[in-house]
């Protein structure tokens, strides 16, 4: 992998806009971003928080010099940030060109979506949707294997908000069916960490 080179080529080619996805966007079945590549973001750590646009905890990232997280870096189709901003409503788009290691040959400009700390304070009874967690972990298992999925749990904070088991009637609009192996991994990761899980 290489660090971002956002300077224009001498030929006049300018950097192409990309974003770094670290949650559900890692699961390729939830989107149609064709140009998506595994990447790492240095100095960031995931955290469960509110976005102001959802009634359950969702993933965000905060600065953490000691942590590197994995994800997918994808080209913004047509350079149209508006559609992506709409998908990521409640998040701020932050320039992250100097943080992301990747294998893309062309010069790129990279952004990462992050909820402004303290903007949407966590409230009681705002747990993580298991249907959402399933999608995220499925993506990490497919892209980075079981070890990568373990690293997802290890580099994410905020689990104390708890998890609501909505698998029978998924509330997350992009929910996916897990394989027996994937579901067993998710359930095992929750159990081994003693995370609180409740019914809807």
User: What is the model's pLDDT at position 1?
Assistant: 46
Helix (H, G, I), strand (E, B) or coil at 88: coil
The pLDDT tens digits along the chain (200 residues) read 434 333 322 333 477 889 999 999 999 998 888 888 899 999 999 999 887 667 789 899 999 999 999 999 998 888 888 888 887 877 889 988 889 888 777 778 899 999 876 665 555 568 999 999 999 999 999 999 999 999 999 999 999 889 999 999 999 999 999 999 999 999 999 999 999 888 87
Q: How many structural domains comprise the chain?
A: 1
- What CATH number does residue 70 fall under? 3.10.490.10
Give the DSSP letter string of 4-68.
---SPPTTSPPPEEEEEE-SGGGSGGG---SSEEEEEEEEEEEEEE--SS-SSBEEEEEEEEEEE
Whole-angstrom Cα distance, residue 108 to residue 5? 6
Distance CA 34, CA 54 (A): 27
- Domain extent at residue 67: 2-198
Contacts of range 171-175, beta carbons closer than 8 Å, 24 or more positions apart: 171/56, 171/129, 171/131, 171/200, 172/129, 172/131, 172/132, 172/135, 174/24, 174/27, 174/30, 174/135, 175/131, 175/132, 175/134, 175/135
Distance, CA of 102 to CA of 192 (rounded, Å): 32
């Amino acid at each position: 992998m290489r660090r971002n080179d956002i300077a224009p080529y001498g030929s006049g080619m300018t950097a192409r806009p990309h974003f770094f996805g670290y949650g559900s966007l890692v699961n390729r079945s939830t989107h149609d971003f064709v140009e998506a590549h595994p990447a790492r973001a240095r100095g960031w750590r995931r955290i469960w928080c509110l976005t102001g646009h959802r009634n359950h905890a969702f993933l965000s990232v905060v600065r953490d010099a000691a942590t590197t997280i994995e994800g997918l870096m994808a080209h913004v189709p047509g350079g149209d940030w508006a559609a992506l901003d709409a998908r990521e409503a409640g998040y701020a788009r932050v320039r992250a060109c100097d943080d992301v290691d990747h294998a893309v040959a062309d010069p790129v400009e990279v952004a990462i979506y992050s909820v402004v700390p303290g903007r949407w304070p966590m409230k009681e009874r705002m747990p993580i949707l298991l249907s959402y967690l399933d999608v995220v972990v499925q993506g990490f298992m497919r892209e980075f294997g079981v070890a990568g999925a373990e690293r997802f749990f290890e580099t994410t904070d905020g689990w104390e908000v708890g998890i609501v088991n909505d698998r029978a009637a998924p509330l997350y609009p992009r929910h996916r069916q897990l394989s027996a192996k994937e579901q067993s991994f998710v359930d095992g990761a929750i159990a081994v960490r003693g995370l609180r899980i409740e019914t809807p």
